[in-house]
Structure 1
Amino acid sequence: MQIRKGTEADIPAIVELLKSSLGEGLIQKSERLWNWKHIENPHGASPVLVAEEDGKVVGVRAFLKWQWAYKGKILQAIRAVDTATHPDYQGKGIFKKLTLQGLEDAKKDGIHLVYNTPNDNSKPGYLKMGWVEQGRMALKLKVNPFAYKKDKLPVIPDQNWVRLSAALPQFSNPISNTGQIHTFLSPEYISWRYQNNPLFDYHFLSDHRSFVLFFRIKKHSFGSEMRVVDLFINDAVFDLKAKKELNRQFREVSKACFLTSASGRHFELVGKKYPVFGFIPVVNKGPIVTLRNVGLPDSEFNALVEASNWGYALGDMELF
């Protein structure tokens, strides 16, 4: 069996392997999704490793590139995401071989850390390979009992992406003024992540001048969820009038949703910029976050293990 770097020529076989190993599930597998996620990413193309036997791709491991800004430094990170082993080859240690080779390659390529949000089944394997558990993501929640099990979807305001694109350079993440870790922001990143996402339909609230709030609507058995994934502000003009307009637009959408959610860390740090979320306190009920040091001094990595040093929004950590 050969472990080698994946190429674009492998993509059809990789997609078929993902389907045969994982099924379609909630996230459909396709070449379009793979290309958007692993090639078009403005943070950089994903390092991909495949296991090959007799000319057949029987295992794959992809690491999504991400850039985090922290104390004037850009942290080069990868997220352990798409991985699969053909059903006929499971139990032969392919996952571990691909992961360890990926870590070795990452160190040579100047990557600082790996992060991911494993489930209960995969977490023990990561911990054995040197990952460290940070804890569960904090969430800020708003509940509207009047929308319980209501089928009516919220009315989405006009989505003029062309107009918004012209305004994007004016906006910044309010976290950038707090010193906490946040995604390195660019208009290209925002367009890639939300406008051109082939997996989910993302929407925005904005006055095209002082704020833009990105969200998506997710259907549940209990009704709709408004998932607030990012909030960007133009501090120079975000005043009381702008905050009232953000609240107005937010109410129009959230009133049709039983649940509204946002990152607890983001909300705790810049809650005054957020629309009104109600009285429910921040709760640590999100996915478990794990980290793996690759190329940082221990003192710098240990600081990253502390959740209090992070200011991620849901859009930074959402699986896609």
Structure 2
Amino acid sequence: MKEEFQFEFINQNSNDDVLVTLLKTASIIHNRKQDSLEWIKWKYFGSPFGNAFCLVAKTNDDKIVAEITFGCYQFILNNKSLNCLISYQTMVHPNYQKRGLFGLLTKKILAKAESDGIDLVLNFPNKASYAPFQKLRFVPINHIENKVYFTKKFSTLWNIFSLKKTFLPRPISVINKEQVQLFNELKNTISPLSVKDVLVPNRSANFIQWRYFTFPLYDYRIVKTAMGWCIVRLGNRAKLKEVQIMEIFSESITKEFFSELRNEIILQFKPNIILYNFSYNHPANTIISKLGFYSLPHQINFFVYALNKKYTHLLQKENWIITATEFHRY
């Protein structure tokens, strides 16, 4: 590719005008409502794990035509924290596609990440970026379960075609203070899973608070039971009311705990559907299958890449546990 573009890393010191231009470009390319300046500052530069790696390509007249951004993340392996990156944004303007920008931007970010001590990279490519990431030697894991519980079977069957529609999370404009207070009461009970030789996400209290209770994005609620608690996201799938389980916290992940949790969700929100996404090797998998949760097809792809070559042996599905926190857009 000819050197017809300029490349610039965006950081917390970048001018607000640059960030707004980035947001406008993303809204055009992805055909969605433009995100706010406050949102990008929160997501890209507010995480307790560190600032995002954001690289853009500009034309000679200073027009942003492509962006690749990965956020800083942490996984835990046998009680050791590993520095990771997770994909935030991938876009190339249609007028500038097939010029190698996607691959070039990604390679530049990976090179910087490796020099900064990042160990592993994970992402969730859509259909358009599936093949390009494979060409960059990202390894497809694709081991995510899509478990659904139908609370109102008759009305759900009556609206069966709603199941094929896109889930729309309920947006909010302000943080729910009661939920923040409840989180503060429960945060000391948070602890990451511990599974030998398996990478599990670092669920620190600071991360959970930042992810769910510091920026008003979607309606996240805490559901508390005697045996533990969870964070859910409220919304609708066409005519069906849906509750999505994002995270669970309990000293023991048992059938009794999930039964209590399911019943409390039904009592509080009266949904048609309870949905729970997680990797197949999550301890919850075999348990909730016994409680009437069914597996449904989905289109969630999960890829991983090792910058630190001593972790190359971990690029297989048995070695990763993830939940909806990783792959639901925020």
- TM over 0.5, shorter chain: yes
Structure-to-structure mapping, 1:219-230, within 5 angstroms: 219-230=236-247
Which aligned pairs between 1:41-80 and structure 2 lie closer than 5 A?
41-52=47-58, 53-80=60-87
Match of residue 171 from structure 2: none
Q: Match for residue 313 of structure 1?
A: 323
Ranges in structure 1 where 5+ consecutive residues have no aligned partner:
152-156
Q: Distance in 1 between matches of 2:143 and 2:210?
A: 27
What is the match of residue 250 of structure 2? 233
Greater Cα offset, 218-227 or 67-76: 218-227
Q: Which residue number corresponds to residue 3 of structure 1?
A: 7
Cα displacement (A) at 1:284? 6.5
- Aligned-partner residue type, residue 13 of structure 1: T
Number of the residue aligned with 1:169: 188
- In 1, Cα distance between the equivalents of 2:254 and 2:148? 25
Aligned with residue 260 of structure 1, among 271, 274, 283: 274
Superposed CA RMSD: 3.3
User: Which of 26, 32, 43 is matched with 1:24 structurally?
Assistant: 32
Work out the number of aligned pairs and report it: 306
Establish whether residue 302 from structure 1 lines up as the match of residue 313 from structure 2. yes
Name the CA distance, whole Å, in 2 between partners of 1:161 and 1:198.
Answer: 12
Which residue of structure 2 aligns with residue 154 of structure 1? none
Q: Look up the equivalent residue of 2:108 and give its one-letter code.
A: Q
Separation in structure 2 between the aligned mates of residue 20 and residue 264 of structure 1, nearest angstrom: 31
Q: CA deviation at 1:18?
A: 0.9
Give distance in 2, aligned partners of 1:165 and 1:267: 30
Residues 75 and 89 of structure 1: CA distance in aligned 2, closer, same or farther (over 3 Å): same
CA shift in 2, pair 1:5/1:15, >3 Å: same
1:133 aligns to 2:148 (yes or no): no
- What SS is found at the alignment partner of 2:88? strand
Percent identity (aligned): 19
SS at match of 1:92: coil
SS of 1:32 mapped into structure 2: helix
**8 A contact 1:137–1:284 mirrored in 2:** no
User: 2:49 aligns to what SS in structure 1?
Assistant: coil
Gaps of 5+ in 2: 163-175
Give, as a single letter, the amino acid of the residue that structure 2 aligns with 1:262: Y
Q: Decide whether aligned partners of structure 1 residues 242 and 5 sit closer, same or farther in structure 2, where only a CA change above 3 A counts.
A: closer
> Counterparts in 2 of 1:44-193, with a 5 A limit?
44-52=50-58, 53-144=60-151, 145-148=153-156, 149=159, 159-173=178-192, 175-176=193-194, 180-193=198-211
1:201 is aligned to: 219
Q: CA deviation at 1:172?
A: 2.0
The answer as to whether partners of 1:269 and 1:311 remain within 8 angstroms in 2 is: no
Q: Does the 8 A contact of 1:169 with 1:186 survive in 2?
A: no
TM-score (norm 2): 0.80
